[in-house]
Structures are given as structure tokens and as C-alpha cells.
Structure 1
Amino acid sequence: MAARILHRLRHALAGEGGREEPAGGGGEAEDCPESSELEDDTEGLSTRLSGTLSFTSHEEEEEEEGDGASEELEEPPQAPGAAAGTEDGGRCWGGDLLTRQLQELWRRSRGSLAPQRLLFEVTSASVVSERSSKYVLYTIYLIRSGQFDKAPATIARRYSDFEQLNRRLRCRFSCDMASVAFPRKRLRRNFTAETIAKRSRAFEQFLSHLHSIDEIRRSPEFLEFFFLPDLQAAQRLTCTGMYREALATWANAYRLQDRLGVCNSGRFLLTLAGLAVCHQELDQLSEAHGCCEQALQLLEAQGSHPLLGPFLQAHVHLAWKVGKDKRHSEARLQDLREAGLPLQQQPSLKECLIKEPLE
């Protein structure tokens, strides 16, 4: 590919210079095969272009700093009198410095101005063999564009899970789903590398298309496809006392809901309850206290909620343990008592998790 680029540059430069024939005067072909070495022509091209040929990646170009900005940066508009040879006695009032400052400002603001999208990337696919079935399990990362996630949100789904989602959405959103493609079933060769690779790309495009449609993106069918299995698994692990495993699953469910933008729903409050309980059982009291605080901020504007009393009681207890201020929560509890809420009969956060039906 690089050889072809050099070949085109050679032709363009030869055209500008009057199409000079190569030394030797022969009619040698100008064709440059892909196997040609780059170093033969790089130095000559650099000289004629009065610059430097750079084959660094885009990420490396963004990290370069110094006197010269990357050639791909747009040239900012030049201020009046900044160019050399101005009418004002030829004086320059710091044009080079201003240019570098504008370029640096543009470089920093470029990431913040770009709209963020949610990307779906199949990172791996494995063939799973069970007693009565064999299937491919696809691992998918949910990534915000322009950001690096130290702990990405992940799901693992098989073809039948995608097929069920497709069927449910077509029943409810027949018009919107008319233009959405879905990979068809195959009678054989389902486990070949070619089929798995094609389906991986198809599932990425399928989820991206669904997420681009407002009504579908907010629908329970679409949202629960991502985080409901994790909530159910975390609930089972918490009920059986496997708090460390449950904590990891609750945390992934938290990240999934955060990426999908549903951090004010009842399921998200239940997720915070699960995190608080597991942190407390693992003697991570500061983390448990932080989960309760986040939940109470979401419940601040609500006069009543089934989880409000349990969260307030847990927050008061944890705040006393870690030495944090608990007066606001105690005042809210007093308001609930005066309103006639029997706090003594309120279940704990752990009891709420066990009793909550997740279907």
C-alpha cells in the first residue's frame, strides 16, 4: 500500500517538473510493485517535497509536541499583521507563538467537541460444548467513543440471545425494524472461523443500528438484553453468600447501565443496593457508604420509594462506622417517621435484594 502511494507521488512530481525522463534515457516502466523497498525513494521524495515523510500512526501524531505541529492539523486563520513583511514596518507581533497557541487550543478542544457515541465491539468468540448442545459465545465490549475504559462494560451472548432480541423488537417496532438486517441461520458450517467472523461483524452493526433509533434505544427489550442477565446472576450469588463473585457482577451491571444512560431507573437503584451489600459484607465500608450516598442523591427528590428507608438506615449505620456526617440522613429518617412510615418493619437492603423479582 505504501509502495503505491510513493508510486503516485513520483508520477505527480514528475508531472510538475515537466515529466523528466529518468537517467539513462531508456523507456523503463514506472510501475512500482508492492514488494519494492520504501527506502529507495524516501530520501529523494523528502527533498523535493521540502518536508519529512512520516509513516507514524494517528495516535503517535497526536502525542507529538514541539515546534512544528502535525501536518494533518488545520491551519488556524492568520491574524492581521502576523505574517512577515507586513505594512507596519515589517514587524511581527508574535505570529508564530499565536499560531502554536491556537493549534494547541484546537488540539485540546477537538476531543471535547466530538460527539460521543456508544460502540459495540466483539472482542472474542468461543465455541462452547455442553452435554446436549454446542454454540458460539460472543463477548462484546460497550465503549464510549473517544474514551478509554480501564474497566469496560462487557456482555457474553450467543446467537439465540440475539435472535430473541430481534424477534421481540420486530413484534413491537415493526416499522423501525424493517430496515435492520439480522444474520440468518445456517444449517451447517456454523462453527467455522469464517462464519464466526462474519457474524461478529454483523452483530456489531446490528446493535449499533438499534442503538441509533431513539425509541428502540430506550425500550425495556433493548436495555434488558444487556444488563438483566447480570442482575439475575448477581442476585443469585448474593443470596448464596458468594459476595466477591457477586460484587464483580453487580459492578459490570453498573457499568452497562451507565454506558446505556439509564442511571435513574429502579434497576440502577437495585444495582447500587447490591454493590453496597457486597462491599459491606467484604468489610469495604467506605465503598459501601459511597454507594448509599449515590443512591440517596438519586432519591433526593422522591418523597417515597421502597428503597428509601433501607438506604437511609444503611447510610446512617455506615456513616457512623467510617466517621462521616450522618445528620442529613437522620433528619430524613425522622421525617419518614413523622409521616407515619413504620421504619422498624422496613426490610434491610439485603432483604430487598433477595425479595426483588428479576424477570
Structure 2
Amino acid sequence: MAEPEPERDAEDPAGADLFSPDADEPPTCSSLTTKELQQNLREVKKRERPVRLLFEIPSTRIIEHSLSKYVVYQVVVMRSGSFDSHRVSVERRYSDFSRFHHQLLEEFNEELEEVVLPRKLLTGNFCPEIISERRLALQDYLAKLYAARCVRHSPHFPKFFTEQEQKRAHGLLRAGQFGPAVEQLRTILEIEEKLLPWQKPTLTVPTLSALAVCHRDLEEPEQAFVAAQRALPPVRRYGLKHHRAALLELLVDLGYQLGRPVAQLQEELSVLRDAERGKVSLRSLKELVVQDFL
């Protein structure tokens, strides 16, 4: 399959420098020779680094239970270039890959004609040579999926890398185990942030909301405030009114606790509720978070 034109991160700082009011004023085109224009173009292209997702499956392990035995693959997700210095990983079984593949085929059968999932084996699944061979094949499979624009923009794509961890985190949250839940949620957030150039900007809102709830209940108001504050801009922009009201309410409460100015947040919350005339849910952020994975 032909490699598509690389997409660029909308928040790429390299491009931002070109439009910064603090940058040196560039010479006008009329004052430059053709050679100088070509040199400037080359310099601009050097600063515009394409962003890609890279997938690596560096290791595997065999899980044995009384009635089952299977291989899990460590899947590392990272961005290319200098944009990503941190590798984050999840573990997936072959059955997870198979389920994911069939979900994609239901929606993108024609587009994935040439993308083949490594076949299921009836014997030899635990042979080290077979495991190593399959590990590399699954790594190549993920790269080919990402190369298909329809797949990397599909909601199925982030779900494959985060859904299991989300369910685990929300189970821990509902059980009141906020510390372990935070660890799971941080992993989810890191993966979601890597996927943001190809996914909706609201992708991280549920995770940031859950982190805010956990930190608040762990009596860590500063971390809770930061998480809720990060969730608010995409919520405002894309009109998620229920989350907006709940986030604003939490931020006001935490702001008072931390001694932060909250007058503008209070006013925004009042205007939102008045404008909606009772249509906005009065549920707390915790109630919204808990409901996400019921």
C-alpha cells in the first residue's frame, strides 16, 4: 500500500515560530534573489518535521492460568522525530488484535484489502521462534493499519490502545482505589495525546475528567485543578455542556480551596445554567465519570 502524505501536528512548535510576533521580521519576497528564496524554503522544510506514529512490539510474555495459557504482546506507541521522548506501552493478546481487525473490516473492508492480520495458529503458539515471528508480523500489521488514513482517523483506533485500561481504571475508581486508578489513567492520557493529531480534540476529556476526580478524592487539589483546567478548552469549543458545567463547578470549588481567582469561572457557570434553563445536567463530574463505563 502506498505511503500517504505525512500529516503534521497542529501544535508543532516548528511552524509556530514562523508566525510568532517575537520572531525577526523576514525580508520581503521582492528583496530576495531566486537562490535566497530557495534557501529560505529549504530552511522552512527542515523546521516542518512530519509527525508519525510508530509501533514497536519489543517483548512478549506467556500467561498461564489453571484453565488457559496465552501470549501477551507489549505494544509501544510513540511519535516520530523529536516530538516524543517518552515510550508508553500496553499489553494485548492475539485475540485482541483479531477482534480489532474484524471491527475494522466491517467498516473499511475495501480500504483494508491488502492489510492482512497474521493468521491464527492451531499448534506451536508457545514456540519461541513462532512467538518472535508473530511479534514482528503484528508490529508490521499496526504500521500498515496506521498508513490507512481511514483507520487512523477511526474511533476504533484509539479504543484498541486504551479501552481495556479505561475499563480497568474506571473499575478502580468506582471501588474507591484512586491511586491505582490514577496510574492507569496516566497511561491512557499519554497514548491519547499521541493520537490527538488524528483524533477529535475531545478524546482526552473523559480521561482528564477522571484524573481530576481521582486527585480531588486523594486530597490533591492542585493536580485535580490542573487536570480539570486542561479538559475545559475542548469542552468549551465543542459544546460538551454537561461536562462543562461539572468541570466549572469542580474548578470553582477547588479554586476556593487553593486561593485562586474564581469569579470568571463562577460567572461562566451561571451564564451557562441560565442560558440552558435547566437543560444542563446538575450531575457532578464524578457522576459523569462513573457513568462513562457502566
Q: TM-score range by the shorter chain?
A: 0.7 to 0.9
Which amino acid in structure 1 is aligned with residue 49 of structure 2? A
**Residue of structure 1 equivalent to 2:263:** 327
- Tell me by how many angstroms 1:123 deviates: 2.3
Q: 2:88 aligned with 1:145, yes or no?
A: no
Is contact 2:210–2:286 with CA below 8 Å preserved after alignment?
yes
- Tell me by how many angstroms 1:301 deviates: 2.9
Q: 2:185 aligned with 1:250, yes or no?
A: yes
Deviations 1:29-65 (A, max 9, x none): xxxxxxxxxxxxxxxxxxxxxxxxxxxxxxxxxxxxx
From 266, 273, 294, the counterpart of 2:230: 294
Alignment of 1:54-69 (within 5 A): none
**Residue of structure 1 equivalent to 2:201:** 264
Deviations 1:212-264 (A, max 9, x none): 11111111222211111111111100000111110011111111111111362
Could you tell me the percent identity over the aligned residues?
A: 29
Is contact 1:231–1:250 with CA below 8 Å preserved after alignment?
yes
Structure with bigger helix share is: 2
Which amino acid in structure 1 is aligned with residue 284 of structure 2? S
Is contact 2:235–2:244 with CA below 8 Å preserved after alignment?
yes
Comparing both chains, which one has the higher relative contact order based on Cα–Cα distances under 8 Å and sequence gaps of 6 or more?
2
Cα distance in 2, alignment partners of residues 256 and 132 from structure 1: 32
Is contact 2:181–2:214 with CA below 8 Å preserved after alignment?
yes
- Tell me by how many angstroms 1:181 deviates: 2.2
Cα distance in 1, alignment partners of residues 290 and 237 from structure 2: 26
- Tell me by how many angstroms 1:149 deviates: 4.8
Q: 2:210 aligned with 1:274, yes or no?
A: yes
Deviations 1:121-173 (A, max 9, x none): 11220000112111101011101112375653321100111111112212221
Cα distance in 2, alignment partners of residues 150 and 244 from structure 1: 25
Deviations 1:265-324 (A, max 9, x none): 3x5211111110111122221111111111111122355522111100000111111222
Cα RMSD between the aligned structures?
2.4
From 57, 75, 84, the counterpart of 1:122: 57
**Residue of structure 1 equivalent to 2:273:** 337
Q: 2:127 aligned with 1:198, yes or no?
A: no
Cα distance in 1, alignment partners of residues 235 and 127 from structure 2: 50
Segments of 5+ residues of structure 1 without an aligned counterpart are 1-101
Which amino acid in structure 2 is aligned with residue 199 of structure 1? R
State the number of aligned residues. 252
- TM-score w.r.t. length of structure 1: 0.65
Which amino acid in structure 1 is aligned with residue 74 of structure 2? T
Cα distance in 2, alignment partners of residues 349 and 157 from structure 1: 31
Greater Rg over alpha carbons, structure: 1
Is contact 1:312–1:329 with CA below 8 Å preserved after alignment?
yes
Counterpart secondary structure, 2:90: strand
Cα distance in 1, alignment partners of residues 163 and 285 from structure 2: 19
Which amino acid in structure 1 is aligned with residue 97 of structure 2? F
